[in-house]
Amino acid sequence: MSSEILWYANRATGAVCLVLFTVVVLLGIAVRLRTRLPGLPRFGTVALHRGLSLSATAFLAVHIAMAVIDGYVDITVLDAVVPFVSAYEPLWLGLGTVALDLMLAVLVTSLLRERIGHRTWRALHWLAYASWPVALIHGIGIGTDTGTDWMTWLTVACVAAVVAAFGIRLAHSARASRRTPAALLRTAEGARS
């Protein structure tokens, strides 16, 4: 395979990963909020979240493989899994590695969810919220398409979607925290007076 084909494949899979992982984050928030997507039962949202997570991970594996196989830039397997050791763009590649490592922690703990317990899984699953922006910064810093119109609009759309969903998630959490048993009891007592 020519270096040019590998370069295009790396760029394409990077952009696809941005879209897929954005949708995975959005679906994760939808699952947490118990949102039912049109045309799907609630368990369908969970299944879609899991399936797209695995698909995004497969695209990420191809993205990394293309970078390692392409001889134009010297990126080793070690560079892909150990942050900030690469001679090539150590900061930007290192951020991609940090995002990968965080995402792998989320993936592995999700696969072991039954064994590690819900509370541990949930605590570690928060790493997904850290992984996404770190991966985004990696792409902005190292991506050769950064600054092109199409990539700028794609990035802006993904960021806007995640920020909006995260805002909805925070608002939902704030409302839920006001519905604590003590607050509900005070409301009930106030209604009786």
pLDDT tens for 42-90 read 789 999 999 999 999 999 999 999 999 998 889 999 999 999 999 999 9
Output the pTM of the full model.
0.87
- Give 41's pLDDT tier (boundaries 50, 70, 90): confident
- Give 2's pLDDT tier (boundaries 50, 70, 90): confident
Handedness of CA 29, 32, 35, 37 (dihedral sign): positive
User: With contact defined as beta carbons under 8 Å apart, do 152 and 158 qualify?
Assistant: no
Q: Using CB atoms within 10 Å of the CB of residue 62, give its burial: 0 to 12 exposed, 13 to 18 middle, 19+ buried.
A: middle
